């Protein structure tokens, strides 16, 4: 199952000539999960080639304009393209009022069902192969961090074990490979009898806007990829605290504490024309740091 992250907006508060406002798409197989929809993100969404008529969930971290204004345009564009697949929308309780009021004022309808779920801490999305969890952030308004966590996969399949049990190759093997139990010759055979130990799924963390704290370090524990608020460098760490954001170095300290494999800095203040200085500060703390760029793609492979 392919799992990749596409960055659709990486600036904070104001866009720049190179950066749209906050938005990240996680593409998992045939599904896309969009986290935040800042102004300008839909142009990058279209340019990325992700596609507007596939299974989609949209999750909003908080009700600040640089994280939500692009939602109206994205939905309207999909309607103009005659999308007919439902969209599931998740976010703070004010998001429903925002959508209903603006759709009424702008007088536009949708060609697809739109469902809304209010986010609270804990599991907000539960699918067969993964869950999305939410954790309250530390920001100036109610804001949530998210983690997409895949469930454990069945262990490595051993054909010789299946052959020893006399199970014919084909559909029964397929079921066992995918963790299902079967009945053969009057006997129930569990997947574990012909597979190795279960393998961990992948985990992606997305902070939204927040200060760092120990609770978030626990929430993001062992992420394969963590995308974290890095609005400021150490030259403006007082402003970061005042505005309830984080510095790149603080993000790296949290990532190191949480055992994160790869840290992606994002949500940059426009005062930083080049994010290299932020990467340098963070790299002094964490060994695997990159700065997000609009339309950058990161693949997350399975653990070997």
- Tens of pLDDT, residues 267-279: 999 999 999 999 9
pLDDT top residue among 247 and 187: 247
Tell me: pLDDT of 15 over 90.
Answer: yes
Catalytic site residue from 66, 209, 229, 294: 66
pLDDT confidence of residue 155: 84
Which whole number is the average pLDDT over 215-243?
A: 98
Q: Which residues in 37-174 belong to E strands, given as ranges?
A: 55-59, 87-91, 114-118, 122-126, 130-136, 144-150
Specify the pTM.
0.92
Q: d(Cα 74, Cα 23) in Å, to the nearest integer?
A: 12
The whole-number pLDDT of residue 128 equals: 93
Q: How many CA atoms lie within 13 A of 261 on its CB side?
A: 12
Q: What band does 303 get if pLDDT is binned at 50, 70 and 90?
A: confident
Which sequence spans correspond to the domains of the chain?
Answer: 3-153+202-299, 159-193
3-class secondary structure, 28 = strand
Is residue 108 over pLDDT 90? no
Residue 178 binned pLDDT confidence (cut-offs 50, 70, 90): confident
pLDDT, position 255: 98
* DSSP bridge pairs for 68: none
CATH of 3-153+202-299, one of 3.40.50.1100, 3.40.50.1220, 3.10.20.30, 3.60.15.10: 3.60.15.10
For residues 28-40, give the mean pLDDT: 97
Q: Nearest 5°: CA angle at 290, between 295 and 233?
A: 110
| Residue 179 clears pLDDT 90, i.e. is over it | no
User: Is residue 290 predicted with pLDDT exceeding 80?
Assistant: yes
**Within a 10 A sphere around the Cβ of 48, how many other Cβ atoms?**
18
Tell me the pLDDT band of 124, cut-offs 50, 70 and 90.
Answer: very high
The pairing of beta strand 297-299 with beta strand 3-9: antiparallel
pLDDT of residue 57: 98
Residue 184 Cα to chain centre, angstroms: 41
| For residues 243-265, average pLDDT | 98
Secondary structure letter of residue 118 according to DSSP: E
Residue 304 has pLDDT above 80, yes or no: no
Instruction: State residue 219's pLDDT score.
Output: 98
pLDDT, mean of residues 142-155: 94
Q: For residues 223-236, give the mean pLDDT.
A: 98
* Average pLDDT across the chain, whole number: 95
Residue 273 annotated as catalytic: no
């Amino acid at each position: 199952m392919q799992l990749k992250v596409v960055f659709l907006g990486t600036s904070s508060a104001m866009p720049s000539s190179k950066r749209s406002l906050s938005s990240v798409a996680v593409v998992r197989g045939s599904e896309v999960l969009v986290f935040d929809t800042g102004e300008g993100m839909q142009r990058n969404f279209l340019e990325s080639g992700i596609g507007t008529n596939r299974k989609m969930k949209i999750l909003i971290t908080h009700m600040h304009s640089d994280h939500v204004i692009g939602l109206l345009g994205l939905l309207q564009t999909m309607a103009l393209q005659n999308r007919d697949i439902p969209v599931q929308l998740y976010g703070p309780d004010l998001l429903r009022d925002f959508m209903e009021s603006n759709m009424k004022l702008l007088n536009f309808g949708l060609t697809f069902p739109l469902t809304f779920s209010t986010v609270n801490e804990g599991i907000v999305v539960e699918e067969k192969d993964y869950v999305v969890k939410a954790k309250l952030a530390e920001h100036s308004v109610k804001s949530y961090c998210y983690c997409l966590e895949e469930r454990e996969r069945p262990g490595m399949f051993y054909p010789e074990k299946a052959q020893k049990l006399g199970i014919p190759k084909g559909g029964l093997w397929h079921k066992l490979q995918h963790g299902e139990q079967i009945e053969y010759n009057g006997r129930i055979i569990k997947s574990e009898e012909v597979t190795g130990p279960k393998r961990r799924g992948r985990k992606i963390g997305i902070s939204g806007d927040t200060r760092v704290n120990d609770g978030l370090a626990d929430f993001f524990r062992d992420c394969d990829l963590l995308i974290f608020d890095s609005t400021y460098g150490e030259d403006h760490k007082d402003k970061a605290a005042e505005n309830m954001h984080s510095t790149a170095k603080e993000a790296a300290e949290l990532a190191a504490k949480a055992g994160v494999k790869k840290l992606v800095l994002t949500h940059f203040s426009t005062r930083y024309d080049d994010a290299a200085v932020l990467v340098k500060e963070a790299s002094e703390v964490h060994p695997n740091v990159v700065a997000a760029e609009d339309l950058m793609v990161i693949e997350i492979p399975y653990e070997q």
